[in-house]
A and B are shown apart, each in its own frame.
Chain A
Amino acid sequence: MGKLTIGCFSSLVGSMSLDFSVKLASAAIEKGHKVDFWVSGNATMLSIKGQRAFKDYSALMKPVQELMGKGLSITACEACAEARGYHKDNTIENFKRHSMDWYLASAFDADRVFHIGGE
C-alpha cells in the first residue's frame, strides 16, 4: 500500500474543495493507504473544535474525527491558524499543528502528493 500526502488550502465554508479532499482521504484509507493530510491557509478552519453541523454548510468535523480514528494523520499550519485566531486550546483533539516544513517532509516519502489549492 502507498502513502498519500494531501494538502488542502481551501476554506471549510465557501468552497467544496475541502469536502472533496476529506472524501479522497477517506477513500484512500478505506483502500489501506496511509494518508497525511495538511491544511494551510483558510483550510485551517477545519481544525477548530465545536463546529456545528448545519445542512446548508459543509460539516466535516465528524468525518475527520472518524478518519483520525482509522489512522488519518492530520496537521494544520500553525502560523496560518494563529493568524486567524485559531489557537491550540480551540483545536480538535489529536489534530496536530506544525510549521510548513511538516508538509514538505511528508511529501518527501509520499508516493503521491495531491495539492488542492486555495480560493
Chain B
Amino acid sequence: MATTKLGFIVQRTPYKSENTKLALTHAISSQSVEVYLNDGDLVTADIAFVGDGVLNCLKNQKAMEKYGLTSTESHIKNCLLLDLNVMVCKEDLDKFGLSENDIVMDAEEFGADMTVKVVPFSEITKMMEDVNHLLFF
C-alpha cells in the first residue's frame, strides 16, 4: 500500500486558456485512479491557486450563461464535494483587493463538507514540499 501525493498549482487566469479546467479535471480524476492501481494504493491531489490564478476562484461566474460552459467555480465546488484540499493564496488575493467574501468558499448546495482554505503562501509552500510531484498549470 502506497500513496503518491500530487500538487496542482494554478497560476493562470480563468477562461483565457484551458489550463485551469485541465488542472481541476485532472485533480478530480484522482478519485478514479484506483482502477489502474493495486488495492490500497492511492493518488491524492492538493490544489493551490496562486498569483493570477486566484481570479479563478471569484464567485458568481457566468460561464454557462455567457459561453455555455461549466464554470471554473463549479469545478472548484466539485473538488470540494470530492474532499480535495483546495487552497487560495491570501497574499495574492490581497493584491487584487479581494477577500473571502469575493471567492467561492464552499459547496454547501452540492452537499460538500470541505471548504476552500485561504492561507498564507508559506502554507502553500509547505504543501509543495510535502507532495511527491508538482504540476503547474
B57-74, CB < 8 A from A:
none
Q: Check if A108 is an interface residue, CB within 8 A of chain B.
A: yes
Task: Say yes or no: A41 contacts B36, CB within 8 Å.
Answer: no
* Residues of B with C-beta under 8 A to A108: 2, 4, 33, 36-37, 41, 43
A6-25, CB < 8 A from B:
7, 9
* Residues of B with C-beta under 8 A to A60: none
* Residues of B with C-beta under 8 A to A105: 33, 35-37, 43
B80-122, CB < 8 A from A:
none
A positions within 8 Å CB-CB of B: 7, 9, 40-42, 80, 99-105, 107-110, 112-113, 115, 117-119
Q: What are 14 A-B pairs with beta-carbon distances under 8 A?
A: A41-B18, A41-B19, A103-B29, A104-B6, A104-B26, A104-B29, A105-B36, A108-B2, A108-B4, A108-B37, A113-B133, A115-B133, A115-B134, A118-B19
* Residues of B with C-beta under 8 A to A99: 29, 32
Closest to B19 in A: A118
* Chain A residues touching B, majority SS: mixed
Roughly how many angstroms separate A119 CA and B13 CA in the complex, as a whole number?
A: 12
Task: Say yes or no: B19 contacts A101, CB within 8 Å.
Answer: no
In this complex, the member of B32, B35, B45, B135 whose beta carbon has the largest number of chain A beta carbons within 10 angstroms is B135
Task: Say yes or no: B30 contacts A101, CB within 8 Å.
Answer: yes
In the complex, which of the residues B29, B36, B37, B135 contacts A7, with contact meaning CB atoms closer than 8 Å? B135
Q: Check if B136 is an interface residue, CB within 8 A of chain A.
A: yes
Tell me, rounded to whole Å, the shortest Cβ–Cβ distance linking A23 to chain B. Answer: 20
- Lowest 7 A-B CB distances belong to which pairs? A105-B36, A100-B29, A113-B133, A101-B29, A115-B135, A101-B33, A108-B4
Task: Say yes or no: B33 contacts A104, CB within 8 Å.
Answer: yes
Task: Say yes or no: A100 contacts B26, CB within 8 Å.
Answer: yes
Closest to B32 in A: A101
In the complex, which of the residues B4, B22, B37 contacts A118, with contact meaning CB atoms closer than 8 Å? B22
B26-60, CB < 8 A from A:
26, 28-30, 32-33, 35-37, 41, 43, 45
